[in-house]
Amino acid sequence: MIIIYKPYELEINMKSSVIARGAEAIITKQGSIITKNRIEKSYRHPQLDIKIRKLRTRSEAKILEKAIKIIPTPKVIGSDETRNTIELEYIPGKKLAESLEKTNFKKVCKKIGNNLAKIHDNNIIHGDLTTSNMILNEKENKVYFIDYGLGFQSSRIEDKAVDLHLIKQALEAKHPTIYQEAFKSVIEGYKKQSKTAKQVISQLEKVERRGRYKAQY
């Protein structure tokens, strides 16, 4: 089979190794640097596609630069809106999606809740909270949040509640044997740190009720 690469893909394959390929981007690693390259979407009008990728690249870089001052987050080495790339430091460790059950998961999940409360108190919404977007660095005893590609800034309690709902769904889907205790620990960590925990958790219950209602009809 012959594979035809676009110019930017050829450059990626020649200089670095692809470590992940998602719907929005190709993630590569070269030495201690991770590069996120937002790929073209053929179903979008070319000019609209360029605009969307540029805006999302700019937004993610800004959120990352803000988040790193608050919780463990990869440092931004550089970003290029013309190439739709963000360069980040490589974080050694294991993705929690593959390792959570092998850890002291209650302690780790409290750290997750604590991290989430901190960024929420600074009006950062992650937008894609799954254990695939968290790295446990056991040497540093830290949980890093990665991939803020769907992130945004908001002070709305609803948005913060939806973030919590996302991690609950992710735990149930990926870690069904421990998810109830795991999410309970997330909430414990969140309550301990968050300035608006009571309001957010109350709104979370409303979000879940809406979800159950929709599932019935």
> What amino acid positions are annotated as catalytic residues?
128
Closest listed residue to residue 111, CA positions, set 18, 192, 173: 192
- Could you give the CA distance from residue 125 to residue 154 in angstroms, rounded to a whole number? 7
CA torsion through residues 193, 147, 97, 29, sign: negative
Pair 142, 111: CB distance under 8 Å: yes
- Could you give the CA distance from residue 164 to residue 39 in angstroms, rounded to a whole number? 29
- Could you give the CA distance from residue 194 to residue 196 in angstroms, rounded to a whole number? 5
Six-digit token string for 205: 């219950």
Helix (DSSP H) and strand (DSSP E) numbers for the chain: 7, 10
Six-digit token string for 181: 């205790």
- Could you give the CA distance from residue 183 to residue 190 in angstroms, rounded to a whole number? 10
Q: How far is CA 147 from CA 61, 88, 102, in A?
A: 10, 10, 23
